A and B are shown apart, each in its own frame.
Chain A
């Protein structure tokens, strides 16, 4: 797998700092599991966090806390590192789906050639995570974004004015960007999409369809 579209550094920083929403964090972690370049960038971003932690002033820790920590060590066995087997899906997504595979989930057909699945998020979470399955040759209506949107390609491919997006590629888009992806793989294109707000479609047709497609 050759990855050509990476995460924005601003997204990697936000992930390292721990300020991205749940849906976006699943997409970022899923991409990280496929992309050594972004993992390297994340390590650098995390080392900034480590340096900031190291330079914090010291806040006195109570004797109670220290004693309680030391006393619990015997009951806290060492964990070994078990490499995670490479399944069909990146581990972060597999966890979000409760272990289900893409063939287990109940797709909702929204329009001809378009099916979606809402990945459950914790109650009160402001971000949305969705799987999107689009048939070959289908164009998504041109749309802009209400907030930050992250799309990871899991199967198939699509192209838009930014280029071709294949398995492992991520589209990390600002709200100003408008695009009209067209699926160009023989098989369906399946993407994982994190959004902050419902995606805004531009065309009249799309406005009619949007409540129906709901992406």
Chain B
């Protein structure tokens, strides 16, 4: 189950680095550059689509969400700040929030964007240092280094949207065990990621 969920391609080295996506996004924000947007679309749309299909959407629903998410990338480009994380992370949160809104079938907006309460002047050094333009392939590399039982739970959670209580039921382990494996996996990932930056 977990093995098929993320794939570390050998091509990662040939792909543009995060800074380049970040530069494209800056062009979108500053000059409404359509070519830059199209380049972002061509890179991210197929990944968002595949991610949504992994979560149970059919192709049509996944493309609806792709369209909505990429339009949000266009409209919200000026809100992106590369010192808080990579473009992939930003797009991940946009797609996550849209999917939740859609599942709840109402525009309750309860799932607040961090941007809403995270104005630059409220930020702290701790935040500045943490998400700083992490290379996305670092996450894949770090995920490959944590124990399978921890990775499996993170994948079930992030990729398949399974709540922790349901993971406990599915795997027939106590909820407390699910949580402690999650915590362990997360803390190891954080350490690995920090050592790579």
> What residues of A have a CB within 8 angstroms of the CB of B51 in the complex?
52-53, 56
> What residues of A have a CB within 8 angstroms of the CB of B88 in the complex?
50-51, 53-54
- Asked if A61 and B119 make an inter-chain contact with CB atoms under 8 angstroms apart, the answer reads no
> What residues of A have a CB within 8 angstroms of the CB of B53 in the complex?
59
- Asked if A51 and B137 make an inter-chain contact with CB atoms under 8 angstroms apart, the answer reads yes
Majority SS at the chain B contact face = helix
The bracket for how many chain A residues form the interface is: 35 or more
Closest chain A residue to B134 by CB distance?
A: A47
Closest chain A residue to B131 by CB distance?
A: A43
- Asked if B131 and A46 make an inter-chain contact with CB atoms under 8 angstroms apart, the answer reads yes
Other-chain contact of B163, A14, A49, A52 (Cβ < 8 Å): A14
Q: Flag whether A211 is at the interface (Cβ < 8 A).
A: no
Q: Flag whether A96 is at the interface (Cβ < 8 A).
A: yes
With the chains together, A47 CA to B132 CA distance in Å? 10
Residue interface mask B152-194, A partner, CB < 8 A = 1:
0011011101111100000000011011101100110110010
> What residues of B have a CB within 8 angstroms of the CB of A19 in the complex?
157, 161-164
- Asked if B136 and A55 make an inter-chain contact with CB atoms under 8 angstroms apart, the answer reads yes
Instruction: Using known A-B contacts A40-B126, A52-B159, A56-B54, determine if residue A61 contacts B139 with beta carbons closer than 8 Å.
Output: no
> What residues of B have a CB within 8 angstroms of the CB of A90 in the complex?
117
- Asked if A76 and B75 make an inter-chain contact with CB atoms under 8 angstroms apart, the answer reads yes
Closest chain B residue to A176 by CB distance?
A: B176
Closest chain B residue to A77 by CB distance?
A: B75
With the chains together, A49 CA to B37 CA distance in Å? 22
Other-chain contact of A22, B96, B104, B182 (Cβ < 8 Å): B104
Tell me the chain A residues, 151-189 only, with Cβ under 8 Å from chain B: 174-176
- Asked if A69 and B117 make an inter-chain contact with CB atoms under 8 angstroms apart, the answer reads no
The smallest C-beta distance from A12 to any residue of chain B, in angstroms, reads: 8
Q: Flag whether A1 is at the interface (Cβ < 8 A).
A: no
Q: Flag whether A115 is at the interface (Cβ < 8 A).
A: no
With the chains together, A51 CA to B154 CA distance in Å? 12
- Asked if B86 and A55 make an inter-chain contact with CB atoms under 8 angstroms apart, the answer reads no
Q: Flag whether A142 is at the interface (Cβ < 8 A).
A: no
> What residues of A have a CB within 8 angstroms of the CB of B96 in the complex?
17-18, 49
Q: Flag whether A72 is at the interface (Cβ < 8 A).
A: yes
With the chains together, A19 CA to B157 CA distance in Å? 7
- Asked if A18 and B100 make an inter-chain contact with CB atoms under 8 angstroms apart, the answer reads yes
Beyond the given pairs A39-B114, A58-B50, A65-B63, 7 more chain A to chain B contacts, judged by CB atoms under 8 angstroms and listed by A's residue number, are: A10-B164, A33-B112, A44-B186, A53-B88, A59-B49, A69-B45, A83-B122
Spell out A's residues near B (CB within 8 Å).
8-10, 12-14, 16-22, 25-26, 29, 32-33, 36-37, 39-40, 42-62, 65-66, 68-70, 72-73, 76-81, 83-84, 90-92, 95-96, 122, 125, 147-148, 174-176, 196
List 8 A–B pairs whose Cβ atoms lie within 8 Å, in order of A's numbering.
A8-B183, A25-B111, A52-B139, A55-B137, A59-B49, A59-B53, A61-B63, A174-B176
Spell out B's residues near A (CB within 8 Å).
5-9, 29, 32, 34, 37-38, 41, 45-51, 53-54, 59, 62-63, 66-67, 70-71, 74-79, 84-86, 88-93, 95-97, 99-100, 104-106, 108-112, 114-119, 121-124, 126-127, 130-131, 134, 136-140, 142-143, 154-155, 157-159, 161-165, 175-176, 178-180, 182-183, 186-187, 189-190, 193
